[in-house]
Amino acid sequence: MPEIKFYYAPGACSLAPHILLKEVGVPYEAISLKVGAVRHDFPESYRLVNPKMRVPAISIDGNTITEVSGAYKLVVYFALPVSKTGACI
């Protein structure tokens, strides 16, 4: 199973991908970032994950996808275990 990290901030547009991860039941690490008065108040170390300093972002085995909710769906789909018939289980 791939290592999935989900970066989000309460109050940001992170809810849909967060629900998707919970619903499909894949194990992931949720990393909450606090939104300050300025968007760039995230820790500077987050710039290595997303240079634009925006959430949500999802990292799968070190490969990061940002800002595209449709891409999250594909990434989570391909992260699911596959049965011998090719169907996600």
> What does the pLDDT read at residue 16?
80
3-state SS, the chain, equals CCCEEEEECCCCCCHHHHHHHHHHCCCCEEEECCCCCCHHHCCHHHHHCCCCCCCCEEEECCEEEECCHHHHHHHHHHHCCECCCCCEC
Instruction: Express each pLDDT in 27-76 by its tens digit.
Output: 899 999 887 666 557 888 888 888 888 888 888 888 888 766 666 666 66
**pTM for this entry:** 0.74
Range name among 2-16, 39-53, 73-87 with the lowest pLDDT average: 73-87
- Topology annotation, domain 4-79: Glutaredoxin (3.40.30)
Residue 13: pLDDT band (50, 70, 90) is: confident
> What does the pLDDT read at residue 29?
94
